[in-house]
A and B are shown apart, each in its own frame.
Chain A
């Protein structure tokens, strides 16, 4: 199988603070992260000829973001599909570079969700809306967590999945977070109680937030951001760090359907596109960077990506399989994930960043000789309308 190497991640930066105490703005986080990611690549602002933006800096970002950065890009892409926007951006950057429209693509993210005390994880919903779907849903008081909890409950009903199996995901990500000094600082700054490695019992005995999901199955709400630079093979060859090639990509959305199956996600559609294009199988993947808004998100996505059959995820993740030092692998969210390191609302960019770290050999939970990674972002809400972006990454 011939693998195309049209574009590579050449620069990365994760903004280190998860609590900026209201002192800086999302746009400022984006710009600082962009400069550091360009510097990581050995490139400069003037090299950027394509910008991808999810609108997190506010305003009509396609019109404003180039001015703020001081750039004159030839490609402006404002795809905004929630937390997976950055996987979509990486897919589009690869496509645009392969088409000869650009050589250096810049993806940025900035959020002050924690400082704004935005209740991403535990809030309710507002009133009616001029969007018809929202106008049907608003009266029921479905919290974000309840949306995912209903997927978990149905998964348990259909396949016998247990809370103990779901807890494996929380335990593995915390295990990795405790090895990542930035994640430990994040948990300290966000005033987590009892910051340590956890057990399955810790998770299932933590407070119930929306049955069947417990507190330790829910992501944090942080400030943060980051940047990713993607370049053509010619540019990548001269960059400071080894290239991390984008080998395949897939995109999809899914939404509630009368009679539909809530236990499978849009990844069922995006994953075969990405793995097929890359010419690799899930069994070959060393690093699984999977959007962990909640434990059930990861379990559902692992199944839909093809790591195991639908409904068998619970048994498959058991026994600590997802820890970086377990040879059965793959290693899950080795930065500590949204559950224990960084979740400012749209975590998709960190999936690309940590996957790149692993393939460069720079992770704090480094998998020896990691060669292939998948970054799968889920945007919107898993139990209703959501987006799926799958990116397969590989090193030389």
Chain B
């Protein structure tokens, strides 16, 4: 029996499929409206800032900071129960998008991580896409 796997996003979800598709090349994509300059993330087909939206895809550097995080000590999920303790965090990318992810590459997350700390994307490879995890910069 194979080990339980991380739950992966659907590649066919209409609004976010282009974001996930770009992760194959380890690119972190986000949208910005050329009409009103609103940053759109998660990606969508419409601009949430104006009705004359023209959304352009941009590529983030992968750098950001920890807005907040928690260390999960208890989970009943078949994959995550074997990962505890692990850090879940909201990351503010330097370009503006805020993304929910995990912070990896630390031995003691509660003591090794701090709110406001600089992090950088660490791609976890899967068959059809990559998952944007983060590690201390």
| Contact surface of A with B, Cβ cutoff 8 Å | 119, 122-133, 135-143, 145-146, 149-151, 153-154, 157, 207-213, 256-260, 262, 384
Additional A-B contact list (15), CB under 8 Å, known A132-B15, A211-B70: A124-B76, A127-B9, A135-B13, A139-B6, A139-B131, A140-B100, A141-B80, A141-B102, A154-B67, A157-B68, A208-B73, A210-B72, A256-B98, A257-B98, A262-B90
Q: Distance (Å) between the CB of B119 and the closest chain A CB?
A: 14
The answer to whether the Cβ of B28 comes within 8 Å of any Cβ in the partner chain is no
Task: Please indicate the chain B residues that have their CB under 8 angstroms from the CB of A143 in the complex.
Answer: 72, 74-75, 77, 80, 88
Q: Known contacts A128-B8, A258-B98; is A141 also within 8 Å of B67 by CB?
A: no
Contact between A149 and B77 (Cβ–Cβ < 8 Å)?
A: no
Contact between A135 and B16 (Cβ–Cβ < 8 Å)?
A: yes
Contact between A142 and B100 (Cβ–Cβ < 8 Å)?
A: yes
Contact between B88 and A141 (Cβ–Cβ < 8 Å)?
A: yes
Task: Please indicate the chain B residues that have their CB under 8 angstroms from the CB of A146 in the complex.
Answer: 70, 72, 88
Bound form: Cα–Cα A151–B70 in Å: 9
Task: Please indicate the chain B residues that have their CB under 8 angstroms from the CB of A128 in the complex.
Answer: 7-10, 13
Q: Distance (Å) between the CB of A250 and the closest chain B CB?
A: 23
Contact between A154 and B115 (Cβ–Cβ < 8 Å)?
A: yes
The answer to whether the Cβ of B69 comes within 8 Å of any Cβ in the partner chain is yes
Contact between A138 and B88 (Cβ–Cβ < 8 Å)?
A: no
Checking A122, A123, A211 against B71 with a beta-carbon cut-off of 8 angstroms, the contacting residue is A211
Contact between A210 and B71 (Cβ–Cβ < 8 Å)?
A: yes
Bound form: Cα–Cα A262–B98 in Å: 12
Instruction: Name B1-17 residues within 8 Å CB distance of A.
Output: 6-10, 13-16
Checking B10, B42, B115 against A153 with a beta-carbon cut-off of 8 angstroms, the contacting residue is B115
Instruction: Name B98-137 residues within 8 Å CB distance of A.
Output: 98-102, 110, 115-116, 131
Checking A124, A154, A258, A259 against B75 with a beta-carbon cut-off of 8 angstroms, the contacting residue is A124
Q: Known contacts A154-B115, A262-B67; is A130 also within 8 Å of B72 by CB?
A: no
Q: Distance (Å) between the CB of A16 and the closest chain B CB?
A: 29
